């Protein structure tokens, strides 16, 4: 399987909340780097990328928009949405539709993801949830 196909499989699995497919392509020694700290292995990845998001946005959908591959590194952009129906980042449900998007990078070795850099657009999510209103000041 090509590195691009591995990323396509990953994003499809995230979209469907398919933990079994994630486990097939995420290495046991994976390190996923994020703003809230690193998580490790398939369980850590599933916890932060699937379960955490699905708790807040049970109907979350994402799609792969762009893929750039160079050697063992693949960068990709996701775009999607979900309804804020559960607590997320300490914010109680608002019932609002939010954008789920981001730019992520992975390193692949022997057909498995061994490193991941999270790049979710948390600011867009906070704006959509009404927790961080945009300002026109200074424009």
Query: Would residue 134 count as lying in a domain?
Result: no
Give the residue-averaged pLDDT of 30-43.
94
Percentage above 70 pLDDT, the chain: 96
Instruction: Flag whether pLDDT at 138 surpasses 90.
Output: no
- Number of structural domains found in the chain: 1
In a domain, 18, yes or no: yes
Which of the four pLDDT bands, split at 50, 70 and 90, describes residue 133?
confident
Which range of residues forms the domain containing residue 52?
Answer: 3-128
Q: Does 124 have pLDDT greater than 90?
A: yes
Mean pLDDT, residues 33-56 taken together: 93
Q: What is the mean pLDDT of the chain?
A: 94
Per the domain annotation, does 136 fall within a domain?
A: no
Q: For residue 117, give the CATH number of its domain.
A: 3.10.450.50
Query: Does residue 116 sit within a domain?
Result: yes
At 95-117, the pLDDT tens digits run 999 999 999 999 999 999 999 99
**What's the pLDDT score for residue 1?**
87
Put simply, whether the predicted model's pTM sits higher than 0.75 gets the answer yes
56 in any annotated domain: yes
Q: Distances from the Cα of 60 to the Cαs of 17, 29, 41, 42, 64, in angstroms?
A: 9, 27, 23, 20, 14
Q: Is 135 a member of any domain?
A: no
Domain membership of residue 139 (yes or no) is no
Mean pLDDT for the stretch of residues 4-19: 96
Q: How far is CA 125 from the centre of its chain?
A: 12
Rg (alpha carbons) of the chain, rounded to whole number:
15
Q: Please name the residue ranges forming H helices in the chain.
A: 3-16, 19-25, 41-46, 52-56, 122-128
- Which residue did the predictor score with more confidence, 139 or 132? 132
Asked if residue 138 is part of any domain, the answer here is: no
């Amino acid at each position: 399987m090509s590195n691009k196909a591995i990323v396509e499989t990953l994003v499809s699995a995230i979209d469907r909340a398919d933990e079994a497919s994630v486990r097939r392509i995420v290495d046991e020694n994976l390190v996923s780097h994020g703003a809230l700290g690193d998580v490790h292995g398939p369980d850590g990845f599933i916890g932060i990328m699937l379960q955490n998001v699905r708790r807040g946005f049970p109907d979350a959908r994402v799609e792969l928009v762009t893929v750039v591959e160079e050697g063992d590194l693949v960068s990709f952009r996701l775009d999607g949405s979900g309804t804020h129906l559960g607590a997320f980042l300490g914010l109680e449900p608002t019932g609002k539709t939010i954008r789920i998007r981001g730019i992520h990078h992975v390193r692949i070795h022997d057909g498995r993801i061994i490193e991941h850099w999270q790049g979710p657009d948390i600011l867009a999510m906070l704006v959509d949830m009404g927790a961080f209103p945009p300002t026109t000041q200074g424009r």
